[in-house]
Structure 1
């Protein structure tokens, strides 16, 4: 059953990366965080923001929750640069089989393998699936 969920999640993440204004890549960050561990998931999202911003070479970034926009859904966030609100990444936080999977996508060109290794080293992460 886990394979079917992962396959579905992979396909859905890949559809988000289809051609648009900029070419995107992504990572699905699999966690051991349960549904009631919202604070830990927030802390992990902050840590992932720092890692992706570094790899994207965008400078200092912050997390935008989109609470003031009808275009955002619950558990959807963006990383934006502090300097000029430039896009760094977008994320969906999804509860799957009792734990969170965090789907991040960002501008293509980062070193995916190294990024995945660094994300996997974060507390609470049990694996990373990259999406070209």
Structure 2
């Protein structure tokens, strides 16, 4: 895990984690992927889904894009459990300064340190920053 690379993004991510129905924590994933690397972004999102659900303790998750939901924006995704569509994680894919930053958040009961460590080992990831609420 690295030091905070983008203080503004870190602060805005912290705001997403403010108390609500469930306690959340999150991770900012800085990538080397440009806006033209859609396939690689999809593959990275699938890999991140697998890392997070392995440490969340809720079972296997699928990626929901929200194309049929007006509450979703473009480049917003959720990981939901296969059995009952329970929330596992949510993410935003943000194009900043020519490359993508991904903001993921999930319930604080998951092993966040293990998630951050595993994410840091993935291809195309420059750095990860664990965001505490």
TM bracket (short chain): over 0.9
Which consecutive unaligned segments of at least 5 residues does structure 1 have?
none
Match of 1:111 in 2: 111
**Residue 6 of structure 2 aligns to a residue in which SS?**
helix
TM-align CA RMSD: 1.5
Match of 1:66 in 2: 66
User: Matches of 2:115 and 2:19 in 1, distance apart?
Assistant: 22
Moved more, 49-58 or 5-14: 5-14
Which consecutive unaligned segments of at least 5 residues does structure 2 have?
none
Is it true that 1:57 corresponds to 2:57 in the alignment? yes
Match of 1:80 in 2: 80
Is it true that 1:16 corresponds to 2:10 in the alignment? no
Structure ranking higher in helix proportion: 1
Q: TM-score, normalised by structure 1?
A: 0.94
User: Matches of 1:16 and 1:123 in 2, distance apart?
Assistant: 26
Structure 1 consecutive aligned stretches of length 4 or more whose deviation exceeds 4 Å = none
User: Matches of 2:90 and 2:120 in 1, distance apart?
Assistant: 18
Once the two structures are TM-superposed, the CA of residue 5 in structure 1 deviates from its matched residue by 7.4
Q: TM-score, normalised by structure 2?
A: 0.94
Alignment length, in residue pairs? 130
